Structure 1
Amino acid sequence: MTTDRLLLLAPRINETGLQLLTAARRRGLRAHTARSWQVPEELRGPGPAHLYGGPLFADAVGQDLGVATLEAPVDWLAALPRELTHRHVECTTLAEARRLRRPAFLKPPVDKLFPARVYPDGSGLPGPDALDDDTLVLVSDIVAFRREYRLFVLDGAVHTASRYAVDGALDVAPLGEDPDGREALAFAADVLSACAEGLPSATVVDIGPTAAGWAVVEANPAWASGGYACDPDRVLDVVLRAAGPATEVAAADRPYCRELPAVVR
């Protein structure tokens, strides 16, 4: 990878961002944190670019940087077989979700348009004056994960992984220090063997054990995901592929490119 490459991070940098800055600079990349939601003039240039930040940052600077950001299909989780989720999950519209009259876990598939949490019913979701009726929502049966693990996936295999929660509370540990670490990797291999063709080549998948067995929590874009106790250098490998030059996107990854808006300044 040539050293004229730029890695631009969102202004509100987190711990993972700091780790990526260090790892990228160690490789000789030009790694910088943006001062605002724009590409700094002094960093514009002909060199290839990558980014790390949330969906709003990707939408704000992606086209200016010439970056393609990969993400799983919005209905990926809902399309998984029941033996990989141990719950009913559907992808529907906000208009339909508002009609729910039972408790459910509700979340936007990618963008954080409203809080992801358990709702008593659909009446607590944003109204049509706040979000369009056709906004997509994932509706899931409520399930408790005893532990949760983050997998950074590259080319259909786990590239690095970490525990990040125990009984719903943040509890970070390297996979080698977790009693269920080997089981996590074994289940991850099963998941990726069954459905890697439905994911981009660089992504994040979260998994964990439930009372009914191991299950997929969700998929997330690598360019917007925390690394927890994952190896920062290996996280960087996945991030660089997941949000890199649009001219370098492999044909198999093109269906997973996020549609980035043209921003008028």
Structure 2
Amino acid sequence: MTISPKTVDGTGPTGGRLLLLAPRINETGLALRTAAQRRGLAARTATSYRVPEGLPAAVAAHVYGGPLFGDAVGRELGLALLDAAPDWLTTLPVGLTGRRIECLPLADARRLRRPAFLKPPVDKLFPARIYPDGSGLPGPDALDDDTLVLVSDIVAFRREYRLFVLDGVVHAASRYAVDGGLSVAPLAADPYREEALAFAADVLAGCAGSLPSAVVVDVGLLADSGAWSVVEANPAWASGGYACDPDAVLDVVLRAAGPAGELRDADRRFCRDLPLVVG
């Protein structure tokens, strides 16, 4: 398997396109802004968590930033923000995850009496980490009882990789961790490149239709068994690019966070519910 070639996905050097970046721009955002300008797209960094004043009414907007930014500007800009289903990991066979994973309401997760890795499946509502039990999760005064929590067996990863996926194919990839510590390198420079891509191809072929057409999937090599495992899926419009080619990342971001009027039918069920922002 090879990484797919770059495409502009119909959003290249045409008029009326804008890439809007969140106020707290990171390295990936800076790289995407440069890549967008290089191919003829307007690119702008917002100064606050609201739609900037003075945008042309007919502008076709795309965004890159965290969930808070997407929620703040998405509905007003008429965007469709794609993400995997919150319980996507639980639908995969144990052979692909290397661990048991459940998606529970917070009320049930608080009653856990065993160590587990706990994380919110979508937004960063509480720290994702190993908890000795469920008693350390936020109480009902902080989060609703029906808030979803991913409950995973505890595993350690020897190496971890980020894959930007477009139309079921790895479009850009990077290593981001070794033995639990940040270790960023282009996938081409990693000795496990071929194994990572082969595993990714198997995963993407096996779960065809269960992911949006543009998404991020993280995979890793388990420390104990040496088996490959799916770590998680994330929205491309809110994920760091690490050492991925910014032009290829931009292709995926443009599809994952663009005008709702251009949404593909197969992606409709993966659209984030955007709040109505007042004031």
1:241 aligned partner: 255
Residues in 1 aligned to 2:81 and 2:134: alpha-carbon distance in whole angstroms: 31
Computed over aligned residues only, the root mean square deviation of the Cα atoms, in angstroms, reads 0.7
Shift of 1:242: 0.1
1:69 aligned partner: 81
Per-residue CA distance 1:178-229 (angstroms, 9 max, x = gap): 1111100000000001002100000000001112310000000000000000
Consecutive unaligned residues of structure 2, counting only runs of 5 or more, are: 1-10
1:258 aligned partner: 272
Match of 1:219 among 233, 242, 263: 233
Say yes or no: does 1:4 pair with 2:13.
no
Per-residue CA distance 1:79-113 (angstroms, 9 max, x = gap): 10110001000101100000000000000001000
Per-residue CA distance 1:44-92 (angstroms, 9 max, x = gap): 4212110001111000000111110000000000110110001000101
Whichever residue aligns with residue 150 of structure 1, its letter is R
CA contact (8 A) 1:3 1:27 kept: no
Write out the 4+ residue segments of structure 1 that deviate beyond 6 Å after TM superposition. Answer: none
- The structure where helix makes up a greater share of residues is 1
Say yes or no: does 1:108 pair with 2:120.
yes
Residues in 2 aligned to 1:22 and 1:45: alpha-carbon distance in whole angstroms: 24
Residues in 1 aligned to 2:42 and 2:189: alpha-carbon distance in whole angstroms: 34
Residues in 1 aligned to 2:144 and 2:65: alpha-carbon distance in whole angstroms: 25
Match of 1:231 among 245, 264, 269: 245
Consecutive unaligned residues of structure 1, counting only runs of 5 or more, are: none
Say yes or no: does 1:203 pair with 2:203.
no
CA contact (8 A) 2:16 2:58 kept: no
Alignment partner of 1:84: what SS? Answer: helix
Counting only pairs closer than 5 Å after superposition, residues 28-107 of structure 1 correspond to structure 2 as: 28-107=40-119
Shift of 1:3: 2.8
Counting only pairs closer than 5 Å after superposition, residues 114-263 of structure 1 correspond to structure 2 as: 114-210=126-222, 211-212=224-225, 213-263=227-277
Count of aligned pairs: 265
Whichever residue aligns with residue 53 of structure 1, its letter is G
Per-residue CA distance 1:157-184 (angstroms, 9 max, x = gap): 0001000000111000000111111100
Identity of aligned residues (%): 74
Larger displacement relative to structure 2 (176-185 or 233-242)? 176-185
Larger displacement relative to structure 2 (246-255 or 39-48)? 39-48
